[in-house]
């Protein structure tokens, strides 16, 4: 009897788990629903399991009991037994935090880039280069329907020449962030 390899989806989207085996030139695919796990099909040897793991380790897959070092971790695995729900839930929470922080940084960088464009436009039309003292960008997510109860994003980024840099970004939704 072969070795069992379980792979869990710790993302908020469906995944088509695509892999190759060392002795077979064609790829194999198994659907992997959101927050679920699959048993990789076939009679797998240790060589097959190692090969599959190495293919996906390049893209961040980790062992279920491993702690993520940083960044997004979409998949985790367990050899011989199913992935327990606790590591899956921890990784889903970790990924949510990573994506929230990544989105915040991207919005702050977009506000800074927009400020630079505004300053260039003012300068191109004869104004002084540093004449934009402060720019405020606010993003507010709208409800999609009257029964939509999801928490909505509401965030403000202020780009200012006179403000102190914000060394510790605020956490949570709905709080304004300040970029210097």
**94 located within any domain:** no
Judgement on whether residues 60 and 19 belong to the same structural domain of the protein: yes
Judgement on whether residues 68 and 111 belong to the same structural domain of the protein: no
**53 located within any domain:** yes
Question: What is the domain extent for residue 166?
Answer: 104-179
Judgement on whether residues 58 and 111 belong to the same structural domain of the protein: no
pLDDT in tens, 66-121: 888 778 999 999 999 999 999 999 999 999 999 988 988 998 888 888 888 888 88
**161 located within any domain:** yes
Strand positions, DSSP E, the chain: 5-9, 15-20, 27-32, 37-39, 62-63, 75-79, 134-140, 154-160, 177-179
For 81, phi then psi, to 5°, come to -150, 155
Range from 12-26, 57-71, 78-92, 143-157 carrying the lowest mean pLDDT: 143-157
Q: What is the pTM of this model?
A: 0.71
Judgement on whether residues 37 and 74 belong to the same structural domain of the protein: yes
Domain boundary among 83, 115, 148: 83
**Count of domains forming the chain:** 2
């Amino acid at each position: 009897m072969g070795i069992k390899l379980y792979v869990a989806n710790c993302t908020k989207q469906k995944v088509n788990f695509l892999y190759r085996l060392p002795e077979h030139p064609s790829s194999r695919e198994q659907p992997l629903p959101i927050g679920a796990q699959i048993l990789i099909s076939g009679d797998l040897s240790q060589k097959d399991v190692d090969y599959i793991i190495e293919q996906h380790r390049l893209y961040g897959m980790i062992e279920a009991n491993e702690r993520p070092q940083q960044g997004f971790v979409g998949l985790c695995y367990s050899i011989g037994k199913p992935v327990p729900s606790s590591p899956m839930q921890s990784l889903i929470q970790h990924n949510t935090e990573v994506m929230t922080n990544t989105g915040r940084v991207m919005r702050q960088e977009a506000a800074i880039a927009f400020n630079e464009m505004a300053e260039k436009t003012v300068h191109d039309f004869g104004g002084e280069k540093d004449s934009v003292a402060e720019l405020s960008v606010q993003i507010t997510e709208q409800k999609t329907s009257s029964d939509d109860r999801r928490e909505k994003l509401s965030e403000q980024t202020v780009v200012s020449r006179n403000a102190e840099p914000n060394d510790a970004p605020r956490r949570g939704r709905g709080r304004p962030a300040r970029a210097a």
